[in-house]
Chains A and B, each alone.
Chain A
């Protein structure tokens, strides 16, 4: 699926207790991409970013091969935010643009709030992190593959390329194990309610911010985009039509275009 060559590198962090893989590809000003709860997949969206940027895509702690215990050493949300500061330092990038999708967006926003001067630009793709009682975010960790498919994708024919059918899962146990464990690791910081207080801290984010939302997002409905926009000091919103929560997989070209345009203003 991927056209741009990317390489893997491993960084050693947190007193060598967490050693994530980082996928690196492309050329140009640096972008750090934080993936969502389902794990890292380098596909058309990251390809498109990598045509204009050097993309660094680290795997979430616990989700790299042989690293399943790594999730245990981050006790709480504070640990996680400090860990990501350490990771960005270790990548050796300056004036970095931080791009996060879904759970990755929730982390990216938090990093930008904790260290406002270290992030040049911020892109939040259908981020988690806020909560509205009138629009509760469905508890995805308690759902099966069929339910998740409908929750993440607007177009179910596209979903089939990304979601594991029961037959495919039986044929590729390692894929099912990895996907389950990725959800488990993200669940440490998102279950039962994906809100760790960002609303109280988001005013600190000083980086110009782009919000990108699928207009058919069933997990984090677009009403949340308005809450983010209202709470950020410098934010603009781009909507992607006919896209669900997995907009980077469902509409990779449109989503990437919005991101690249914003980063190169």
Chain B
């Protein structure tokens, strides 16, 4: 089996002499493909406000939707933060992360990349000498004109030479419903229609008319088209059966994006795999993605010393959201609403959110909400998590809240040197990761061992 991988994740010493956009590599990537396991790990940062006041939660109702920018932020500093964020992403790519993952949120101090495609276009360009996927998790389908997503994702795939992962999230309730005014009960329908339009727009050989409920167009004929004949599509969800079905029907990758860690995710992923079994799909772990808060130090103690206050800032301040904001009435479809109320998930979520206020670093670790510690600890926990949830695509949230760039880069460096190589083989060579850009798939097993020994 022919499997993968052109230039390695490590920036080659002579990379500055390489052409930034190398047509020969992009056209003939098959020649570089090697055998190897295909576990993929992406760096995820959200571009948070890094200096919220200590009494923020007391003074403001919510970090999302309501806090006034002019009271809380300085535009010049914000410009600095965007640049730091881009630096951190590029650093992660150069250090060896398989993907850089950006997302879209509005009107908040938690993470404000309202235009993830802007960030991604910078990253696509900056990583052209690497083999890093640009993971969009992504442009939210309800808050953008769908055709614009089709066009801009195609641009990102073009600029990056075919390294796009096309995430298609509906958008959080705060973003879609509150910031962008979408009636909650229409969130899913609008997303589904936008998804259909985008995929058709990428694949159609000739212009076509589109008569949707929310978008009507006489001649859809977008320029450019993605380099990848079929960019991988990831759909974030939170455990509703209708999303599982949608993902299964379309053969996409299902992602659970959460800050609550494995324990809260177990039911969701178990449900997903059980659904897929019934649907008649295989158990290829790359059908699933998971987002995990993760920090690493040289030792458990060093990790705590460096990261504790940023973890606490992240949960206490940047996730200071009134519980009912997470889903305005209608954001969940009726079966999901019924399931979440009757199963007590709502009560459990409420309890978890309340814990953020008093939890210390150690509590987050002990409750498995975060994975943190020395390289061995983090390695063991991530392998355990991946196996128990059966996920082949991990996103690690490694820049958290007030964390400065130096510490973020330290986390990245220790992780990529001492943890990442051990994750490669979690799923062996049994499965192929069809949900990753083809030219970026897999890592040579020999190289992985070499780095682990180093």
Contacts and interface: CB of A to CB of B under 8 A. Distances in A.
Asked if A and B are interacting partners, one says yes
Interface of A: 68-69, 71-72, 75, 139, 141-144, 170, 173, 176-177, 180-181, 183-185, 187-189, 191-193
Given A75-B213, A142-B178, A144-B322, A188 B186 contact: yes
B347 A187 contact: no
B185 A188 contact: yes
B325 A142 contact: yes
A181 B181 CA distance: 18
4 nearest interchain CB pairs?
A184-B330, A192-B181, A184-B329, A183-B329
Contacts of A188: 183, 185-186, 330
B337 interface: yes
A181 B186 CA distance: 13
B305 interface: no
Interface in B297-353: 322-325, 328-330, 334, 337-338, 341-342, 347
A193 B337 CA distance: 24
B341 A187 contact: no
Given A170-B347, A177-B341, A187 B324 contact: no
Interface of A, secondary structure class, is helix
A143 B324 contact: yes
A185 B186 CA distance: 10
Interface residues of B, number: 23
Given A71-B185, A176-B341, A177-B337, A187 B330 contact: yes
Interface of B, secondary structure class, is helix
A187 B213 contact: no
Identify which of B185, B322, B347 gathers the most chain A CB atoms within 10 Å of its CB: B185
Nearest to B325: A142
Contacts of B337: 177, 180-181, 184
Nearest to A179: B329
27 contacts: A69-B334, A141-B184, A141-B330, A142-B65, A142-B177, A177-B337, A177-B338, A180-B329, A180-B337, A181-B329, A181-B330, A181-B334, A181-B337, A183-B329, A183-B330, A184-B184, A184-B330, A184-B337, A187-B185, A188-B183, A188-B185, A188-B186, A189-B183, A191-B181, A191-B184, A192-B178, A193-B181
A197 to B, nearest CB: 16
A136 B185 CA distance: 23
Contacts of B177: 141-142, 191-192
A73 B343 CA distance: 29
Contacts of B342: 173, 177
Given A71-B185, A187-B185, A191-B184, A141 B329 contact: yes
